[in-house]
A = this chain, B = another copy of it.
């Protein structure tokens, strides 16, 4: 099926037997790495995303430096709204800003559809270059924001604490929200399909803002459109990971909606979630990212706790419960990778599984 030299991550996504637990780290191509910062000094963030050679280079850095079991394409979830015609600016320290957020039907009517191979060609080129340069060492993960998460950014236009504008839209103009979400689902599915077609071995849907919704709103405005997206993604056997940060409910529905892997934040207990999903999906996570501030002895204790909470058997992908923080010591991350590779063996060795 694939020519990967290390396909332990893909096997774990499919809950196939592996001799240890695979590990990769959300935002592993990031600011905590001096090698990343050296490149970042030469380009602004969006230029890095849009220059395929550069995106490929920082994507591969953590493979060389950390020895993780998967690469994830360096990019940003906001390239999708930008490809729909929204002017995106990244302000140092203030985060991304859309000058003209979507608040009305007429704003919505200005949104374009796009062809990934045209407006997002630079992403697909980065996929191709990365695949070539990875030379099948490890699989490559592609990603997108979830429809709901992109809607949040598109309606708010900038960072927010209370999500007043997008919540107002849900409650006062729900049909407009549904229209945008539906359009986003289609475009995200095309985008993820194009990533897979160009070489991605798996895709992850980042649902950063699912946790701000009540359970009924999560089903109506978020999970429904993740479902729609998953159904539309063209793939052969490439796994789909769904990571709804802050969401502690409805895991059974995420399973029934076709996710292969559920990503979990660090407030969840893997034992509890595994009991709910009954080995129908793999689980990814969920070390508290701040544990990497500790010394390596403590990191080992906490990493083992995560392995134990998943328990024996296949279908666990080790990761942090959220993206790695910018001021973490790379030596601690390397230690975590070594610890997980070593300590996870015993959870895969029992013959009776």
Q: Name A residues whose Cβ lies closer than 8 Å to a Cβ of B.
A: 162-164, 167-168, 171-172, 211, 213-217, 246-249, 266-269, 272, 288-291, 293-295, 298, 305, 321, 325, 327
Contacts and interface: CB of A to CB of B under 8 A. Distances in A.
B249 A172 contact: no
Given A167-B288, A215-B268, 17 more contacts: A162-B289, A163-B290, A164-B325, A164-B327, A171-B293, A171-B295, A172-B293, A172-B295, A213-B288, A214-B266, A214-B288, A214-B321, A215-B269, A246-B246, A246-B267, A249-B267, A249-B272
Nearest to A171: B294
A217 to B, nearest CB: 7
A161 B347 CA distance: 34
A252 to B, nearest CB: 13
22 contacts: A163-B290, A164-B293, A167-B291, A168-B290, A168-B294, A171-B290, A171-B291, A171-B293, A171-B295, A172-B295, A172-B298, A211-B267, A213-B267, A214-B266, A214-B267, A214-B321, A215-B269, A246-B246, A248-B248, A248-B249, A248-B267, A249-B267
A81 to B, nearest CB: 22
Contacts of A247: 267
A94 to B, nearest CB: 13
A138 to B, nearest CB: 28
A327 B161 CA distance: 13
Contacts of A272: 249
